[in-house]
Each structure stands twice: as structure tokens, then as C-alpha cells.
Amino acid sequence: MKKTPFVTKEQLEKIVEQYPTPFHLYDEKGIRENIKALKEAFAWNRGYKEYFAVKATPNPFLIGILREYGCGCDCASYSELLLSEAMGIGGRDIMFSSNDTPAQEFVYADRLGAIINLDDISHIDCLEKAIGKIPEVISCRYNPGGLFQISNDIMDNPGDAKYGMTTDQMFEAFQILKEKGAKEFGIHAFLASNTVTNAYYPMLAKVLFELAVRLKKETGVHIGFINLSGGIGIPYRPEQEANDIRVIGEEVRKVYEEVLVPEGMGDVAIYTELGRFMMGPYGHLVTKAIHEKHTHKDYIGVDACAVNLMRPAMYGAYHHITVMGKEEEPCTCKYDVTGSLCENNDKFAIDRMLPKVETGDFLVIHDTGAHGYSMGYNYNGKLKSAEVLLKTDGTTELIRRAETPADYFATLDLFPIGEKLCKK
């Protein structure tokens, strides 16, 4: 099996004439087809809403595409709330799912009318002190602890995660919030990351639906929505099979009909907070081979680095690489594909079999549409790259310019050298 870029070598050669490498390229056509499929998969639920995880790809042009299909924003910080407000997004179109939350962020989220999702039972008092009340609509994040597994496969370890409340705390929190005036309640959970199986969401749904039934019976609250959060992954490796969102939606529907409907809870809305699934496959990091080195190993040095894509350096994550124009050539050469940071983990691939790479070849690093640009940083004084949208008609649009030295030095404006540096 192989991964095929959504852009051809001929297209890319024209694009790089306008935008120098490296840059992140996004596929508008793929994004639109994907959100349509998601909405169709959950169309059976009248209140269904996708809250796009802004942290995955915080670009207003891309979020704007999702907004055309009714998506809201899942925010976790002041800046993400600020971006949403600047786009005219507010009220129940924002889900504020934060943790270790500063008081001023609760204040801002409340001012925007966002649904606030509390990560810890102690945050009830923090929220009340910050905004002077408990909102009528409130959500709580659940963590059942232990291991989360499907059959014999361990998917993740919620017991080691810093997020969410225990089962007992959920019941206590709902009772306290009800006494303080909350009218509509939501349940939220994120128990496994980047799952490449259609079984994850249905199993998570069963856990949350059964908890919702118990909470309603024992506390008497009205549960208005259940947020399945993220966790639906993408096939980073060519041999992995992609999730089928329509199968996932149908299996969640079956659990909904089995658990909630008989309890008179057939009006509960289903929410999701997908980031990686929504954008991941529809982004490429486009870079150029600028050096080759032959010492104890063979290295290909490219003009991108971990500043542009941190996941391989941070997690050892696999991202597939296509050498443009050599898609059909045999992979006979073993390379480490590296950036120029003064860190030995600045590698996009280690011992990767590729066609022979020559200086000047364009490389496409796949599946960077989520947690690609957004995780970038400025170590070594490296500057973050541009973001470009490949539109449905084949034209391109610059949706974020590349950083300049003036951007990097902007916060040194307190010092006499700041002005001089910013002019370089």
C-alpha cells in the first residue's frame, strides 16, 4: 500500500514559484468532503454538533470552511477563545474544554456565552468565584480511571491522564451544580488518542450513555448533551486502514437506541470535538532537499525542521514521506531525513527507505494538517513557515504568511537593540 499526495509534482512546481519552501499546504476539497461525511454519519441525532478542536489547526480560513457546515469551536485557552470571537463565533457555538484553568479564562468564556466544560470538581468553586455564579448550562469531564481497552487491545491509560473527574466526583459535582442553579448538564470524556478502529467511539459512547442514565436517576438532573470529544485517529502509516466515519456513526446510533432511548433520553444531543480526523490527512508539509551527507549513516537534509513539524521529534511519530516525481521508483536507499536544528532528534524519518533523493527534490511529508503548524515553536531562532490553501478549483491562497525576523524579535521592543533587530 502507498500514500498518494493530494497535489501533483507539476502543481507543486508552480506553487513553489509563488511560495518558497517550506510551507504547509492544505486540501480544501478533502476537508469539505470529510466534514460532509461526518455530518451524514451523525444526521440521525437531531442535536448533533461538531466542535472543531482549534488547537489542532488554529487558522481562521480553515475554521471558516468548517463553519459553513455548522461546526463550532472547541477551545482550551484564552487565545483560542480570542480567535473564535474575532471570527464572530460565540454562545453555544463554543465549547470551552480547559484544564488547570486560569480564572480570567473562565471569565472570558462566560462573557462569550461558551459552554464551559469543567475538568475537576474543585473548579466549581473556582468558576463561581471567577464569574459570580454557576451557568445554567454546564458540562463536566469524566475519567473512569484504569485502562481503556477494546477486546484485548489496550487503547490508552486514562488512569494516568491528568484530565477529568472520577465516577464518584461526577455524581458529587452534578449534585452541587444542580443546587447552585445549573439547569442543563453535559458529559464529556476523552479516553484514548488517535485510535484507528471503528470500535472506539461506540465503546466510549456506551460508557458515557450508561453513566448519563445513572446520573439522571440518582441526581435528577437534565442531561442535554454528551460530548464524545476526539480520539478518532487517522492512518499515518500506509498499511493502516482508515476509520469509516459512517460505520462509526451507525454503531453509536445503535448504542444510543439501546441505552438512552428506553430511559426516555432520546432527546440527548451528541457532540464531537475532532481535530486530527477533521484536518490531519488534508495537510502536507512541503520541503526541499538541500543537502546530503554520508558518514556513519546516509542523511538527507531538508529546509524544514522540527519547528515546522514537531511530532516526529517529540513523540517519535511516523509521518509518511513522498519524493515528488519519484512515486513509482523503488525505495532502494535508507536515509535519516533531517532538519537543521542543533538537536539530534530533529529528524522527520529514521532509517526510512526512499527512492534515491537528490538535492533540489521536493519532499511531501504527509498528514500534517493537524498538530503540524500549531505545535511549532522558535527554538534556534527558526521561523515558522507559511500556510497555503489548495482550493477546489486548483488555485492557491496564502492563508498565513511565513514569520519574519521582525516577528521573532517583536517582544524585544523593550530593549535598545529591539528596533535594530526588527529592521533586519
- The reply to whether 352 and 372 lie within a common domain is yes
Query: Who has greater pLDDT, 152 or 9?
Result: 9
Lowest mean pLDDT among 183-192, 271-280, 409-418: 409-418
Let me know if residue 17 belongs to a domain: no
- The reply to whether 154 and 253 lie within a common domain is yes
| CATH code: domain of residue 31 | 3.20.20.10
Beta strand residue intervals within 347-415, DSSP E: 347-354, 362-365, 386-390, 396-400
CB atoms inside a 10 Å sphere around CB 107:
15
Let me know if residue 1 belongs to a domain: no
- The reply to whether 229 and 89 lie within a common domain is yes
Are the CB atoms for 326 and 361 separated by under 8 Å?
A: yes
Model pLDDT, residue 210: 97
Model pLDDT, residue 155: 45
Query: Who has greater pLDDT, 75 or 417?
Result: 75
Segments forming the whole domain that contains residue 337: 281-412
- The reply to whether 156 and 241 lie within a common domain is yes
- The reply to whether 208 and 302 lie within a common domain is no
Domain boundary among 280, 299, 333: 280
Let me know if residue 289 belongs to a domain: yes
Cell of 245: 466515519
Give this prediction's pTM. 0.94
Q: Is the pLDDT of residue 224 over 60?
A: yes
- The reply to whether 245 and 393 lie within a common domain is no
Let me know if residue 418 belongs to a domain: no
- The reply to whether 158 and 232 lie within a common domain is yes
Let me know if residue 420 belongs to a domain: no
Q: Is the pLDDT of residue 153 over 60?
A: no
Packing angle of the helix pair 245-259, 28-41 (nearest 10 deg): 20
**Counts for the chain of helices (H) and strands (E), in that order:** 13, 19
- The reply to whether 327 and 256 lie within a common domain is no
- The reply to whether 340 and 271 lie within a common domain is no
Mean pLDDT, the chain, as a whole number? 94
Query: Who has greater pLDDT, 61 or 405?
Result: 61
Q: Is the pLDDT of residue 148 over 90?
A: no
- The reply to whether 193 and 54 lie within a common domain is yes
Average pLDDT over residues 97-125: 96
Average pLDDT over residues 16-42: 98
- The reply to whether 239 and 334 lie within a common domain is no
Question: pLDDT band for position 414 (50/70/90)?
Answer: confident
Domain boundary among 280, 313, 336: 280
Q: Is the pLDDT of residue 246 over 90?
A: yes
Model pLDDT, residue 283: 98
Let me know if residue 57 belongs to a domain: yes
Q: Is 422 a catalytic residue?
A: no
Question: pLDDT band for position 191 (50/70/90)?
Answer: confident
Q: By percentage, how much of the chain surpasses pLDDT 70?
A: 94
Model pLDDT, residue 193: 81
Let me know if residue 160 belongs to a domain: yes
Q: Is the pLDDT of residue 157 over 70?
A: no
| CATH code: domain of residue 390 | 2.40.37.10
- The reply to whether 263 and 317 lie within a common domain is no
Average pLDDT over residues 237-261: 97
Average pLDDT over residues 398-407: 95
pLDDT in tens, 373-396: 999 999 999 999 999 999 999 999
What is the distance between the terminal CA atoms of the chain, rounded to a whole angstrom?
47
From the candidates 71, 73, 75, 342, give the one annotated as an active-site residue. Answer: 342
Q: Is the pLDDT of residue 418 over 80?
A: no
pLDDT in tens, 331-390: 999 999 999 999 999 999 999 999 999 999 999 999 999 999 999 999 999 999 999 999
Beta strand residue intervals within 142-205, DSSP E: 148-150, 153-156, 184-188
Domain boundary among 244, 261, 280: 280
SS3 state of residue 406: helix
Q: Considering its fold, how many domains does the chain have in total?
A: 2
Question: pLDDT band for position 180 (50/70/90)?
Answer: very high
Let me know if residue 3 belongs to a domain: no
Question: pLDDT band for position 145 (50/70/90)?
Answer: confident
